[in-house]
Chains A and B, each alone.
Chain A
Amino acid sequence: MLKQTEGSKAVAEAIALCRPEVICAYPISPQTHIVEALGEMVKSGELMPCEFINVESEFAAMSVAIGASAAGARSYTATASQGLLFMVEAVYNASGLGLPIVMTVANRAIGAPINIWNDHSDSLSQRDSGWMQLFAETNQEAVDLHIQAFRLAEELSMPIMVCMDGFILTHAFERVDIPSQEQVDAYLPPFDPRQVLDPAEPVSIGAMVGPEAFMEVKYLAHAKQMQALELIPQLSAEFKKVFGRDSGGLVRTYCADDAETMIVAMGSVLGTIKDTVDEMRAEGHKIGVLGIVSYRPFPLAEVRAALMNCKRFIVLEKSLAVGMGGIVATDVRMAVTGTGLKGFTAIAGLGGRPIPKASLHKLFRQAEKEELPPVTFLDLDWDAVNKQLERERQNRHSGPIAENILHDKGIVSAKFG
């Protein structure tokens, strides 16, 4: 059913249609509206049978999900940013135990400095945690990916994060097609766990494992993600049959066939990028887009195939590997190893810094001419940076960095140009 609704509300409705049995909630912006909506549905009896548990931390949220999943219940939680980091030990544990938990990550920056706005630092910090990660471009895709995520997780008995840009998607009202319960039931069978705690058939889960078996367990986690590379396109195709629309998959291209310059990105910024590409195409630029939906597993072959025919690419990512450069860019370069393709990295939008079309036009034109340094920081205020660097050179006790920069910028000039 078509609805004009908030992203979080739409995702909550999609989750409810997936018949979760245990939901654990701890508040952190910008995922709060999702669990709030689910909590109301459970309390009113609209979503049942389902246990909704208000826990005391994200660490507890993931731990409750671990217990519930191991006991055979379809388990869901949502988090972001510091919350994801606070639960990290349990995040690794859930994947290590092979528990198919689904978690929404409403992507948000990581402090310090504390910042509630969107970038991809949080979930990307968990790239090696053993969780799969799918990135939604729109709220429609966020809805669809959650439904596919339960299938995928439970087929493989591995957990999955569905990542959607905090505020940009979670708090945006737009038209979303919410599927019917019949459609979701036809697509998603009841949870049939691979392992379960059951007094009728006692098993021990979570034993101490030494060098004799640890590597095999870890390899199997990798092997499952390799299986996911095959399963994700299948589930996407099956989704289209039931729901009638394209959603998910490993990667998606736009205007890529004759593109000499390709822009690689994840999440909602793909919309702005496509608009910019449309405008540049109208002016005759041979430019195209590669959107990565599945960040983990990372589709090396598909990324390579999508970039094979271009002359250069630029990875525009909302994340930073401090001391190195790009995080997504590293994986993309791995995919094109040996092709001799020229690749650039643009770090953009950290902590919610807007990514306007004007800046993208400039960036893409420079990329076309191969006039970019290997790593570009889009719209970085070099004056502010240099002023602080000078302050540090002058004064051993230059004080807290963020406060100095804010002071330099002043309240009025902090507005975005």
Chain B
Amino acid sequence: MSFQPVKFYQTGTLTVGNRLLAPDERSVQANQMRSNSINSGHRACQGCGEALGARYAIDAAMAESNGQLIAVNATGCLEVFSTPYPESSWQVPWIHSLFGNAPAVATGVMAAMKVKGKTEVRVVAQGGDGGTTDIGFGCLSGMFERNDDVLYICYDNEAYMNTGVQRSSATPPAARTATTMPVGAEPGNVFGQGKNVPEIAMAHNIPYVATATVADLRDLEFKVRKAMRMHGARYIQVFVPCPLGWGTASHDTIRMARLAKETGMFPVFEAEHGEVISVLKIRHRLPVEDYLQPQKRFAHLFGKHAHPETVARIQAIADRNIRKYGLLSEESS
């Protein structure tokens, strides 16, 4: 008979198991009273980063609002896989209207709660990167500018996955998508384009902007809970790898998210009223190859017809992120 020895620390990581923490320091997800906002049985792909991110984020928002939460969802994977009629995974009041209007619908819900004096009821809007950085951007900026009391969460998997992996304004340079194919002199998505929505959100001087990844779910929970304690427009962009769209193994979702952070490709930070107040430092600095190589969407940069100069350009982007946000600490090596 085989058995596994009990380990209190996850070997090779810096993660401490929940059971060693005091109960009030444990994660929302570790609590049996968690709300299971998006319940099991939904139809996300194996290893879906968005399902994981949404589960942690909305459960954290539920915990912080004592269950007084209404969720608004943009069209996209999350909406489609969670509500195939007549089934719904949502244990919270939830509305989906359109692809590009989730922030405005959330404003409407918020206004209704305000006018009815139900100020304890809080509103979260959520969508993918396409719904947030492209088609929903006008409504998002409007909601920010009015400082409406809405927390908007963008699950960023860097392309339109629901429609078959097309480029969005969050797709990184050189990445293969269905509309940026790895052909021609400069294969994949072009350099010098794209939109940094966390920074644009900061430019609205809203109370809170943060980024997070599904590699650090405690950090995600912390930021959602913190955002929920604040009022006004708040924005969290969660980096959620997509095994299907990226061509990564479904068991590598969290590893890919960690590599994005450790290479400097995805800076993890918080900002209040337009000023960065904290960054999650890189623990072990890694070259971008470590992040790019496992992903089929970057496969054309390696192998027989490698593009080392393109990899160098991506490394330059990571280096700039590291400089700009001060992502290195003395421990980073």
Contacts and interface: CB of A to CB of B under 8 A. Distances in A.
Interface of A: 21-22, 24, 49-51, 53-57, 59-60, 63-73, 75, 89-90, 93, 97, 197-199, 201-210, 212-213
9 contacts: A49-B115, A55-B107, A64-B111, A67-B106, A68-B108, A70-B109, A205-B96, A206-B73, A207-B96
Nearest to B94: A204
A72 B121 CA distance: 13
Given A59-B100, A199-B68, A50 B141 contact: no
Contacts of B96: 204-207
B117 to A, nearest CB: 8
Interface string B71-93: 01100000110011110101111
B178 interface: no
Nearest to A67: B108
Contacts, number: 158
Contacts of A210: 84-85
A50 B115 contact: yes
| CB-CB nearest 10 A-B residue pairs | A67-B108, A56-B142, A71-B112, A63-B104, A206-B96, A63-B101, A73-B112, A67-B105, A68-B108, A204-B88
Contacts of B146: 53-54
A60 B101 CA distance: 7
A22 B83 CA distance: 28
B77 to A, nearest CB: 11
B100 A71 contact: no
B97 A206 contact: yes
Contacts of B108: 22, 24, 63-71, 73, 75
A206 B79 CA distance: 9
Nearest to B83: A207
Interface string B241-257: 00000000000000000
Interface residues of B, number: 45
Contact of B142 (A49, A57, A202): A57
A59 B138 contact: yes
Contacts of B121: 199
B114 A64 contact: no
A53 B106 CA distance: 13
Contacts of A213: 85-86
B111 A59 contact: no
Contacts of B93: 197-199, 201-204
B67 A199 contact: yes
B98 interface: yes
Contacts of B85: 207-210, 212-213
Nearest to A206: B96
A63 B91 CA distance: 23
A368 B310 CA distance: 78
Interface of B: 67-70, 72-73, 79-80, 83-86, 88, 90-98, 100-101, 104-117, 121, 138-139, 141-142, 145-146
A56 B95 contact: no
A24 B79 CA distance: 26
A401 B110 CA distance: 47
Nearest to B35: A202
A318 to B, nearest CB: 30
B80 A208 contact: yes
A71 B113 CA distance: 7
A207 B111 contact: no
Given A204-B94, A208-B85, 14 more contacts: A21-B115, A22-B111, A24-B108, A53-B107, A57-B138, A60-B101, A64-B104, A65-B108, A66-B105, A73-B112, A73-B116, A93-B97, A204-B93, A207-B96
A32 to B, nearest CB: 18
A210 B108 CA distance: 27
B97 to A, nearest CB: 5
B147 to A, nearest CB: 12
Contacts of A208: 79-80, 83-85
A208 B107 CA distance: 22
A281 to B, nearest CB: 51
B141 A56 contact: yes
Nearest to A72: B112
Contacts of A204: 83, 88, 90, 93-96
A63 B97 contact: yes
Contacts of A50: 115
A127 B303 CA distance: 58
B141 A22 contact: no
Contacts of A54: 146
A105 to B, nearest CB: 20
B91 A68 contact: no
Contact of B115 (A56, A73, A197): A73
**B107, B116, B139 — which one has the most chain A CB atoms within 10 A of its CB?**
B107
A207 B105 contact: no
Given A66-B105, A90-B101, A197 B111 contact: no
Given A59-B101, A60-B142, A202-B93, A67 B84 contact: no
B95 A205 contact: yes
**B90, B101, B111 — which one has the most chain A CB atoms within 10 A of its CB?**
B111
B70 A197 contact: yes
A21 B93 CA distance: 21
Nearest to B141: A56
Nearest to B68: A199
Contacts of A63: 97-98, 101, 104-105, 107-108, 139
Given A67-B72, A68-B109, A207-B86, A197 B95 contact: yes
Contacts of B69: 199
A205 B85 CA distance: 10
A27 to B, nearest CB: 14
A374 B166 CA distance: 50
B115 A90 contact: no
Nearest to B102: A63
A67 B86 CA distance: 21
A370 B98 CA distance: 50
